[in-house]
Amino acid sequence: MKAYIIDRYGKADVVRAGEAAQPELRADDVLVRIHAASVNPLDLKIRDGEFKLLLPYRLPLILGNDMAGVVVRVGAAVRRFNVGDEVYARPDDDRIGTFAEFIAIKEESLALKPRTLTMEQAAAMPLVALTAWQALVEKGQLKQGQKVLIHAGTGGVGTVAIQLARHLGATVATTASAANAAMLKQLGADIVIDYKQDDFALRLRDYDLVLDSQGGATLKKSLSVLKPGGKVIGIAGPPDPDFAKARGVNALVALVMRMLSYGIRSKARAAGVSYSFLYMRASGEQLRQIAELIDAGAIRPVIDRVFPFEQAREALAYVETGRSKGKVVIKVG
């Protein structure tokens, strides 16, 4: 099958188009012919080797972290899917590879595609929607009447998180450029702070939750907008001890994570709030719940551009510019 592969970690020139063997099917796997995949900043970080301590992939590696397609074969133990089903998924992080014509995905990580979406639209959703769900619903336990700050509202995660938070009944603030304020208010943002002109830390007070995708100085400043007992959930790091425990990393890597997050965890405790790191995990059950929200009209994908499969490297380069609004999609089949 055709695929986009890296043989070593590095920048744009390490990604090559090539041929790869069609994935083997385990008993609990579903083989999917991929119709569309989307590009995420995570793909760039994996390509660059930023996660090689956390995710020790065996090279060569096919890139790609979410997709939509059609079931072409099922394993002997699979019960919920049949040949011909239209599905979408974020594969488990140790079995990525959606920049290809086929992928084998665990049954429990797969869900039927939202019926109201095209393949390209559906492929834009799994990773970012699961991230938003696990941050706001699972970790953040966001409730009606609470207030949430979502950084980088025009990003893939931001555009979905704003809609989900609004659906949950929260007051939503976000950071973005003024040029994108109207779009973000249409998605459900109540307050849009122009990061080029205004300091969000001076504008916002007594928030229950912050979803941070920036890290660094933005993460530290986010502590000041929270009420006592508030939470900052970071998806850009640094990883914390709870994440290390959940991943089952060795003692040395766990110590590194503890040290990397010590500063922000200490500042959070001193402020009477908490910090936790989220690395999204695959979940077919959560994707089924998200599909219901999508089909009910509560959430919609925001797509910037669609690239043909032959231009997958150009799609990666476009995401790397940081200028995309919403998601960038690759049409595979």
- Dist CA 23 CA 1 (whole Å): 9
More confident residue, 55 or 193: 193
In this prediction, residue 43 carries a pLDDT of: 97
In this prediction, residue 171 carries a pLDDT of: 98
| Lowest mean pLDDT, pick from 134-138, 175-179, 321-325 | 321-325
In this prediction, residue 242 carries a pLDDT of: 87
In this prediction, residue 32 carries a pLDDT of: 98
Q: What is the mean pLDDT of residues 157-164?
A: 98
E strand segments, the chain: 2-6, 15-19, 29-39, 61-62, 67-74, 86-89, 102-106, 110-112, 147-150, 171-176, 191-194, 207-212, 226-234, 274-277, 303-308, 327-331
Tell me the CATH number for domain 128-277.
3.40.50.720
In this prediction, residue 97 carries a pLDDT of: 98
Place 248 in a pLDDT band, splitting at 50, 70 and 90: confident
Q: What is the mean pLDDT of residues 40-44?
A: 96
192-201, Cβ contacts within 8 angstroms, sequence gap of 24 or more: 192/153, 200/149, 200/173, 200/175, 200/225, 201/225
In this prediction, residue 257 carries a pLDDT of: 86
Place 263 in a pLDDT band, splitting at 50, 70 and 90: very high
Q: Give residue-wise pLDDT tens across range 265-316.
A: 999 999 999 999 999 999 999 999 999 999 999 999 999 999 999 999 999 9
pTM: 0.96
Q: Where are the domains of the chain?
A: 2-125+301-331, 128-277
Return the CATH number of 2-125+301-331, one of 3.30.70.2740, 3.40.47.10, 3.40.50.720, 3.90.180.10.
3.90.180.10
In this prediction, residue 189 carries a pLDDT of: 98
Q: Above 80 in pLDDT, residue 53? A: no
